[in-house]
Structure 1
């Protein structure tokens, strides 16, 4: 049985473009994705990034819901370190009140403090060598730690958080969200609070994660579906899904584990065209890996005029090697390998191109081949 395909969209800006242009392209792509048969359309949350316009998922999802009919919509992921559980429930409860039964509340641990609980599935040492597991490339690890410790990251944190605010652990956040959705929320002293809108909302909760750490364990222990990140952290995708399944306990939401795995893809009529359209991808990833923040996506001509040096290529090699670019047959074969090795129940694909028509065409070609 063919597993469903879904879309992850960052609302990327292109070189010379505006945020308004990027957001209008997102609305158009969402309409097209629904027509092509994609199961879900998720938008990311990124802040203070020159090349990404999806900073407020709930606001953007409301706009998408208004121009689509039935495709499921969600956040991939809401950064729970920047808002309270009540704010998350109210935002998505409002969406559900207007467009019932269509929303996934995908939660990420970004900006939260890390717990000190160790896990056998979370190795102390990064993977220093690439390996191939049953046909799937698992590259060596990349660490974002230097970027997260930078003065730039400290500035971003100051702008994104209330003074002296201390985010709760992910498990506590998810617990509060579940209580608020079920309602009422009580303090044990006879006082209660209700989220309006939000209480009783028909939302599907997801947890997203990039390793075998806290996110995978929380999703498993609470019996929630889990989305593992191959397109940004390919080195740790297997430990992520393994840790989730090891921690899984049945719940009202799920009787057995449910896994979605992301991949970066670019599909064209022939491999040569796909490789050419993918030329700017290295420059774009390099801007992220150096802490600059994703730049507006370059044109093919600009990327060809500024080829990566050997040192720059080394910094982004894991992402370049795990981008699936080619014909529908080529990309579908690599996606099937990813599905088989991870045991994914669903695949979440994201695509970057300079030209919007090429991006739409990539999703169209892939869906036609995948679903027949």
Structure 2
């Protein structure tokens, strides 16, 4: 079943997604193509926005191959939380979709046997025809590049802007096998390193959606987060979520004591509702305990996120794709922009602005 989607969006959305301080007219000049005949309004694609950034920097967007420099593993954003139900998967998939729409080449790795990220990314509740999931690659002992990695991928967006390494329930078996695997905490790092040329040539960023709790695969990807120096944690401002965040924080300290991997958290607050007193109180706790680690964007409670994950909706898709001007989608787009800065996500040959101290 071909699930590849051709993504287009209107001018106002394109200007926002571009991240460029330009007018609609200037953006069309940077894209350098005319509106197709018969099309009432200009429709933009991820490739258009990618080309616009190159032209804005004075570079030729048709010369991508020669712009490649050191081929290495692109930035890896590992999404982890020790508690389920906080919106981690929804945020991971919407972040991948937003970055793909912006013109960044994204690989989403579904590292959760529930396969919720796979279903949401593909826009179906029927699951994927999984050739190989990430567990298969993590259990490999060979240090040579994985020749079968490309065949395991599902192309979500045309043009290579959003690819998926899907999951299914059998990933749980691989997770159990990781318990006895030698140096299991290094397996994700080794996967990235042996495939760095393939990944570096194909992608600008990799996003990993892990299972809730503390699993061997989740720990392995957490250790791989040492390259970025941090992982991404989605938290709801309620008491049990804050306790789960404290557990994750302790988990990172334990990992450092065993491996010397110094990994912090970038915390994204989700499901914020300003009228609830307990939410206000817990926001105070989060700012007091984790202020420097908090992402500047707060994602509001928004019904559209629930609808996209509704199992009765047989043709759903990420909110940023289906309703990009909604309050929830705009918050996710802002999160994506912040991740570009804090994780140093870029195009080959371009250097994007990175936050001080990130």
TM-score band by shorter chain is: 0.3 to 0.5
What TM-score, normalized by structure 2, do the two folds share?
0.32
TM-score, normalization: structure 1? 0.31
More helix by share: 2
